[in-house]
Amino acid sequence: MLRERVAANPLWYHSIELAPGLVTPGWFDLRPVVERLPWPDVRGRRCLDVGTYDGFLAFELERRGASEVVATDIGGHEEWDWPLALRERGPAYLAQLAGPKGDGFEIASEALGSKVERVLASVYDLAPERLGKFDVVVCGSLLLHLRDPVGALSAIRSVCEGAFLSAEQVDLRLSAIRPRQPLARVGPGEEVQWWVPNAAAHERMLEAAGFAVERRSRLYAVPFGPGHPRVRSTPRGAGRAALQRALCGGTGVPHRALLAR
């Protein structure tokens, strides 16, 4: 029954092991790199996962011993930060591709026997009056999809009274050629990637929102999962892959994680 439910979900964002031998066919697989993040101690802490999607990081917080985990996400595809050119056709396209928002989380949560509470809320709407405050907040691969990432970080700061773990996609070329100068590639394009910062700009964004960065991961690449559309091989793509292997120790989507207060 569980295997059939997993297969019936049109799109899995995360690869999550739900039972021995049963892993969701995610677009991205955080399992090989999760230990490379600079995790704070979450044992006995009230924790928040922002932009949870299928819930991988929320379930990871629970697995690490958090006393309470809240996971927020938008309620529907129409709530994305759509650019004007995609505002009319984007939500319908995603609804057809991915199905109803949150179905994957519900399937995974039930299979894992999780007590994580999923709350429908945009990152921009986070406020202590609505959710209270948290000892630990995590946010993964979300800022690049936001029109106002610093505004979103400011909202996160309003509910964070302890540690903040920010794991985000970074532009590898800009990180390599301008390692100290904060720079970003500006979209949004068809993938709705508004801002893809280099490693220095990711850190500067957190500082602009009032966080103090305490620890930094090395660059790493989040591997593509089995559900990800096949990446067409090109000479340019081969060059990018070689750069990723050299700087990130693998291929996929370049990331860096920061632990801040």
Q: What's the CA gap between 64 and 42, in Å, rounded?
A: 7
What mean pLDDT is predicted for residues 237-258? 93
* Paired tokens of 74: 């938008």
How much is the mean pLDDT over the chain? 96
Task: Look at residue 88 and give its three-state secondary structure.
Answer: coil
C-beta of residue 29 within 8 angstroms of C-beta of residue 54: no
* Paired tokens of 102: 């949150």
Name the strand (E) or helix (H) holding 220. Answer: strand 220-222
Q: What's the CA gap between 254 and 261, in Å, rounded?
A: 24
> Is the pLDDT score of 237 beyond 90?
no
The residue among 190 and 249 whose pLDDT is bigger is 249
Q: Tens digits of per-residue pLDDT, 178-206?
A: 999 999 999 988 889 999 999 999 999 99
Quickly state the pLDDT bin for 222 (edges 50, 70, 90).
Answer: very high
Q: What's the CA gap between 13 and 11, in Å, rounded?
A: 6
Q: Tens digits of per-residue pLDDT, 157-181?
A: 999 999 999 999 999 999 999 999 9
217 Cβ contact partners less than 8 Å away, ≥ 6 residues apart: 36, 37, 38, 167, 256, 257, 258
The domains of the chain, with CATH numbers, are: 2-260 (3.40.50.150)
Task: Please tell me the predicted confidence (pLDDT) of residue 102.
Answer: 95
What mean pLDDT is predicted for residues 79-105? 94
Q: What's the CA gap between 191 and 82, in Å, rounded?
A: 10
Distances (CA, A) of 261 to 134, 166, 242: 12, 11, 35
Q: What's the CA gap between 154 and 53, in Å, rounded?
A: 21
Q: Tens digits of per-residue pLDDT, 7-38?
A: 999 999 999 999 999 999 999 999 999 999 99
Quickly state the pLDDT bin for 235 (edges 50, 70, 90).
Answer: confident
